[in-house]
Structure 1
Amino acid sequence: MADKNKPKLVKYEDNEWEFVFPPSIESEEVEENFFFGIEQLGKNDLVAETILKSLIYKNPFHLDAYAHLSIAFKNQEKTFESFLTAEKAYNLGKSLLPKKFDIKKDKLPWGYWDNRPFLRVCHTLGLEYQHRKEYQKAIDIYYEILQYNSDDNQGIRYLLLECLFLLKDYKKAEEFINKYPDDWSIDFLYGKLIIEILKDNKDVKTLLDEAIECNEFLPKEIIKTKHKAPSAGKFDEFGVVSGSVQEAFMYWNRNKKLYKNKKIIDFFKVNFKNS
């Protein structure tokens, strides 16, 4: 394969790097086909698969095509193909990093547009591991992404926290949450509270109040015996509205194994009405 068709990385100030893709990948025709392909995801995934495979055949380093091909396979319940595609894309992307790239100090900021395909590829593989219940492998990938892009434009820290809870590694979950003292999301505020509940800490009123201020509907969701998705509701520019009943259900559903813990359920049965 000619070097001219292989992406390269360039280094800027402050240890920031950026992928540079060749014209063969960034041509208008290729981009049009790519965006048409991803528009088919969820509507006609077989068409998406065909288009993305064709792009990869002609452009073997089209990382974004790999990432979305994995999604097309997963949507068709071709789970083996989905995993292999994500794994191949990740390894391909890693092979492009120069030897002098030091993950301990060098960065691949999301703000550089052409870094996004590789970061998406990493994200895709992390999700594959998570769906396969290989939670430690998912955690390792998620930590790696956060090293590349500490601004976390992809919301990787929430997936990482989910995996730590699934492994019941509450000590590491607590340490991880404490790295983000300014994160006021439902994941982190309720995560802090849950850890203290599991530690049998009775002095949690402040944490409970902060969590309920973030989302008042989650306690009711936790103590239900039957769970049903609410109506679609309203969405803002970031997706589900923060503090909504829809957010509460989606968060509970992502973490339902954690919230089946009897100690957690009993806590909210006792404290919810008095909060």
Structure 2
Amino acid sequence: MGIMCSLNQISLIKYMLKTLERPIIKRFNETDWEFINPESYDNEIVADEFWKAVEILDYDDKRAEDVFKKLIEKYPFYIDAYVHLSIAFRNQKKTFESLLTAEKAYNISRECLPKEFNSKKHKIIWSWLENRPFLRAYLNYALESIEHKNYEIAISVLKDILNFNENDNQGIRYTLLETYLKLKNFDKAKKIIKKYKDDFSIEFKFGEVALAVLDGNTKKADILLKEAIQTNNFFIDEIKKEKHIKPAPYRIPGEPFFDAGIPIGSVQQAYEYWSRNKDLYKNKKIIEYFKYK
């Protein structure tokens, strides 16, 4: 009996110690709040292990998965480890595990917010490095929710991020706009375009053209199109294609094996944007409009 009590006490102590390893968020000034991670994993040794695993994502996702799992086993409230474990799962098509892990990271992050935190006036800004895991956790959960067609959850989370970080360093407005377009909630889509009226991107400029076409306002669409083409002059051809084939990765001259991402204004960007919004751009009314441009 005495041994059992001792074992229970030890388990309780271990649990309490783990609970103390939760990150906390504190007010930095009148409006800004900052995350503070526990010393147990806020150090160079753990950070080096974590970032080495991040570097092999997309190349050796199973090995990255194993590293993130070990980190989480040691540090159960390590938000960024959960976020990147979710990505490792997603890359391996483990969709159920990816969603659950993303939700876990989101819940840990959300539970860090104290009662006195007022989302209408308090901010968690991206420029504070310690806040980035929190903001990444929210975005990753929103992306997973979209992947699983839980659009209302995604919209709610995306709006929260914009409230936390108005500068929108993560490009939340683009994901939010595309989500409204998926839902055919064109009024909300117009409102977000109006809110970011100075945004000069393929998403906003061609999105505004498409909405004008759907409204039957071709004169407005023609005016908007002149500016939209400046963001990407390959996109009109992409819309008109009967068969859409993903282009080869963009390569830097002299670096034939280095994937240089998706440059703005490139054929790769035109395809990726079409692919994310193909339900919208398969609309016959929109296709017919662009066929004559």
- Structure 1 length normalisation: TM-score? 0.94
Name the stretch that deviates more: 57-66 or 10-19.
Answer: 10-19
Q: CA deviation at 1:234?
A: 4.9
The code of the aligned residue for 1:226 comes to: K
CA distance in 1, matches of 2:206, 2:291: 15
Q: 1:38 aligns with which of 33, 50, 54?
A: 54
Query: What is aligned with 1:219?
Result: 236
CA distance in 1, matches of 2:42, 2:162: 27
Q: Is the 8 A contact 2:180 2:189 kept in 1?
A: yes
CA distance in 1, matches of 2:53, 2:205: 38
Q: 1:183 aligns with which of 184, 199, 205?
A: 199
Q: 1:134 aligns with which of 140, 150, 174?
A: 150
Query: What is aligned with 1:250?
Result: 272
Encode CA deviations 1:26-67: one digit per residue, 9 max, x unaligned: 122211211122222122222111111111111111100000
The code of the aligned residue for 1:268 comes to: F
Deviation >3 Å, runs of 4+: none
Q: Is the 8 A contact 2:180 2:186 kept in 1?
A: yes
Q: CA deviation at 1:249?
A: 1.1
Q: CA deviation at 1:233?
A: 2.6
2:250 maps to 1:233: yes
State, as a whole percentage, how many aligned pairs show the same letter. 47
- 1:50-69 → structure 2 map (5 Å cutoff): 50-69=66-85
SS of 2:25's equivalent in the other structure is: strand
CA distance in 1, matches of 2:270, 2:51: 33
Query: What is aligned with 2:132?
Result: 116
Cα-Cα RMSD: 1.5
Q: Give the number of equivalent residue pairs.
A: 269
SS of 2:35's equivalent in the other structure is: strand
- 1:83-162 → structure 2 map (5 Å cutoff): 83-162=99-178
CA distance in 1, matches of 2:31, 2:235: 42
Q: Is the 8 A contact 1:136 1:163 kept in 2?
A: no
- Structure 2 length normalisation: TM-score? 0.88
Q: Is the 8 A contact 1:234 1:240 kept in 2?
A: no
Structure 1 residues 81 and 251, CA, compared in 2 at 3 Å: closer, same or farther? Answer: same
The code of the aligned residue for 2:290 comes to: F
Structure 1 residues 209 and 171, CA, compared in 2 at 3 Å: closer, same or farther? Answer: same
CA distance in 2, matches of 1:154, 1:90: 16
In structure 1, the gaps of 5 or more residues are: none
Structure 1 residues 264 and 14, CA, compared in 2 at 3 Å: closer, same or farther? Answer: farther
Encode CA deviations 1:183-218: one digit per residue, 9 max, x unaligned: 010000011111110000122222010111221111
The code of the aligned residue for 2:158 comes to: Y
Q: CA deviation at 1:128?
A: 0.5
Q: CA deviation at 1:230?
A: 2.0
Q: 1:201 aligns with which of 217, 220, 230?
A: 217
Q: CA deviation at 1:116?
A: 0.3
Name the stretch that deviates more: 157-166 or 32-41.
Answer: 32-41
CA distance in 2, matches of 1:40, 1:243: 28
Q: Is the 8 A contact 1:108 1:148 kept in 2?
A: yes
SS of 2:34's equivalent in the other structure is: strand
SS of 2:108's equivalent in the other structure is: helix
